[in-house]
């Protein structure tokens, strides 16, 4: 059984093929970063148009790389939400059209479920149940995962997502979009031990997050320094430490509350090395285990959608020929309608 996966919820066109026996047998990603860079953020209309340009050639290349004929594909999985409506519609329309032409089922996948399940593509994969920390550009969530489709959100950001806070702080420092990885790189050369950034919402019970204050705190520090590379690196280091520390404190609390022994970390920010180090240490201290997707499956990609599609296809999910996308779709509900 082989599933074609299509991801187009934001500024990456990701296509992959998951094979029941061999796992991911082809995986291609086109990033629109250059298209949006001069605007300092994603321009939705440009994103949709670029997906239109790239999606079909990328699907062709992926099928070719996998030496896959159309009849070898059992189903087409695509990101149905959440995300940018135009970008989602491109992926959904192409997926449904292909599925109709090939006479195969199409499966709409929740983008965050894709991220949650991505560590299952690794050799050392977590068993259910587990606690998931989902940290991306659009979301920061703690999810108690009991099984496929059985998700309970136990904490989330009340304002900026962790990745968004990284990107906005990077922008304040004049770094290119998306600034998260660049800020993390800059932080390696910094020493922010003189600065004490707050650890938002850790002084009260609960598992929710708030990151917008850290960005403002960083902006004030940047305004108060000489703007040198070293000054920015020091602020970047202290900012990153504050985000990572806050995430770790809430993970520890959530693990205690739920009793989970396994922690899955997914979404773009899970690529952050400082976060990985911190959570590895936490899980070692607690006698538990932490799981990540490999680097290329941390940020948006087609592999996670192909895999989630495979899991649902086994449970015979097929959403027919109607084309519908859900730009806002809560993870815990089975449909975005
Ligand atoms: O999961 P993702 O590709 O897209 C969304 O679904 O949002 O996550 C992208 C986010 C961006 O905010 C990006 O800056 C952040 O992940 N990111 C990082 C790192 N790599 C990507 N943030 C901090 N450190 C990194 N190494
Ligand atoms: Zn994502």
Residue 129, preceding peptide bond in cis (omega within 30° of 0): yes
- Residue 15: CB atoms within 10 A of its CB come to 32
Please give the pLDDT value at position 62. Answer: 98
332: which 2 tokens? 């815990």
Could you tell me if 133 and 102 lie in one domain?
no
Residues 90 and 195 both lie in one domain? no
Q: Element (H or E) spanning 44, and its range? A: helix 44-65
What is the spatial distance between Cα 251 and Cα 133, in angstroms, rounded to a whole number? 7
Q: Which of 175, 267, 299, 305 to mutate to test the pocket of ligand 1 (most atoms within 8 A of CB)?
A: 299
> How far apart are the C-alpha atoms of 202 and 184, rounded to whole Å?
23
The answer to whether residues 78 and 43 belong to one domain is yes
Tens of pLDDT along the chain (337 residues)?
999 999 999 999 999 999 999 999 999 999 999 999 999 899 999 999 999 999 999 999 999 999 999 999 999 999 999 999 999 999 999 999 999 999 999 999 999 999 999 999 999 999 999 999 999 999 999 999 999 999 999 999 999 999 999 999 999 999 998 899 999 999 999 999 999 999 999 999 999 999 999 999 999 999 999 989 999 999 999 999 999 999 999 999 999 999 999 999 999 999 999 999 999 999 999 999 999 999 999 999 999 999 999 999 988 767 778 899 999 998 988 778 8
Instruction: Compute, in angstroms, the gap from residue 229 CA to the centroid of ligand 2.
Output: 30
Alpha helices in 150-211 (DSSP H): 162-172, 180-187
CA of 137 to the centre of ligand 1 (A): 5
Distance CA 63, CA 98 (A): 13
Shared domain check, 143 and 266? yes
Residue 102 lies in a domain: yes
On whether both 198 and 308 belong to a single domain, the answer is: no
Whether 131 and 47 share a structural domain: no
Tell me the residues surrounding ligand 2 (ion) with CB < 5 Å. 136, 300
Check whether residue 131 and residue 254 sit in a common domain: yes
Residue with tokens 């086109």: 30
**What's the confidence (pLDDT) of residue 336?**
81
Give a yes or no: residue 18 inside a domain: yes
- 332 inside domain: no
The reply to whether 183 and 261 lie within a common domain is yes
- CA 54 to ligand 1 center in whole angstroms: 22
Centre of ligand 2 from the C-alpha of residue 5, in Å: 14
Q: For ligand 1, what atom is nearest to the CA of residue 271? A: 26
- The CATH number that applies at residue 272 is 3.30.420.40
172 and 96 share a domain?
no
Q: Same structural domain for residues 101 and 157?
A: no
**Which ligand number lies closest to the CA of residue 298?**
1
For residue 252, which of 133, 115, 128, 125 has the smallest C-alpha distance? Answer: 133
State whether residue 146 is helix, strand or coil.
strand
Q: Are residues 108 and 140 in the same domain?
A: no
In a domain, 55, yes or no: yes
Q: Which atom of ligand 1 is nearest to the CA of 267?
A: 1
- What's the pLDDT at 321? 81
The ligand placed nearest to the CA atom of residue 181 is 1
Q: Tell me which residue has its CA closest to atom 8 in ligand 1.
A: 268
* Measured distance CA(316)–CA(117) in Å, rounded: 18
- Name the residue of 268, 296, 328 to mutate for ligand 1: max ligand atoms within 8 A of Cβ: 268
Residue 302 forms part of a structural domain: yes
Per-residue pLDDT at 317? 67
Total tally of structural domains belonging to the chain: 2
In a domain, 272, yes or no: yes
Q: Are residues 61 and 187 in the same domain?
A: no
**Nearest atom, ligand 1, residue 275 CA:** 24
Predicted confidence at residue 314, as pLDDT, reads 87
Q: What is the extent of the structural domain holding 6?
A: 2-116+297-313
Of residues 54, 3, 45, 6, the one with CA closest to residue 25:
3
For residue 334, the model assigns a pLDDT of 76
Could you tell me if residue 47 is inside a domain? yes
| Residue 139 included in any domain | yes
In the block, residue with structure tokens 């409506």 = 85
Which residue is closest in CA terms to ligand 1's atom 3?
Answer: 299
- Ligand 1 neighbours, Cβ below 6 Å, are 10, 136-138, 163-164, 166-167, 178, 180-181, 184, 267-269, 271-272, 299-300
How far apart CA 25 and CA 68 sit, in angstroms, is: 10
């Amino acid at each position: 059984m082989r599933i074609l996966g299509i991801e187009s919820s934001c500024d990456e066109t990701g296509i992959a093929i998951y094979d029941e026996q061999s796992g991911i047998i082809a995986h291609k990603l086109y990033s629109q970063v250059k298209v949006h860079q001069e605007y300092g953020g994603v321009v939705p209309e440009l994103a949709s148009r670029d997906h239109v340009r790239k999606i079909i050639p990328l699907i062709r290349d992926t099928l070719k790389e996998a030496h896959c004929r159309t009849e070898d594909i059992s189903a087409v999985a695509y990101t149905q939400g959440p995300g940018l409506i135009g970008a989602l519609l491109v992926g959904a329309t192409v997926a449904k059209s292909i599925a109709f032409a090939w006479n195969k089922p199409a499966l709409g996948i929740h983008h965050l479920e894709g991220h949650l399940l991505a560590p299952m593509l690794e050799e050392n994969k977590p068993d259910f149940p587990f606690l998931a920390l989902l940290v991306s550009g659009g979301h920061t969530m703690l999810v108690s995962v009991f099984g496929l489709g059985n998700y309970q959100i136990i904490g989330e950001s009340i304002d900026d997502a962790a990745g968004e806070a990284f990107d906005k702080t990077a922008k304040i420092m004049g770094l290119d979009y998306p600034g998260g990885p660049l800020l993390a790189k800059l932080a390696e050369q910094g020493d922010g031990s003189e600065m004490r950034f707050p650890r938002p919402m850790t002084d009260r019970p609960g598992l929710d997050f708030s990151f917008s204050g850290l960005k403002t705190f960083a902006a004030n520090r940047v305004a108060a320094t000489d703007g040198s590379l070293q000054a920015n690196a020091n602020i970047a280091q202290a900012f990153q430490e504050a985000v990572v520390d806050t995430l770790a404190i809430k993970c520890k609390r959530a693990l205690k509350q739920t009793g989970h022994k396994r922690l899955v970390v997914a979404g773009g920010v899970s690529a952050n090395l400082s976060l990985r180090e911190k959570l590895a240490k936490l899980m070692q201290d607690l006698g538990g285990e932490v799981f990540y997707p490999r680097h290329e499956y941390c940020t948006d990609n087609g592999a996670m959608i192909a895999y989630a599609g495979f899991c649902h296809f086994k449970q015979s999910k097929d959403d027919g020929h109607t084309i519908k996308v859900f730009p806002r779709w809560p993870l815990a509900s089975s449909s975005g309608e």
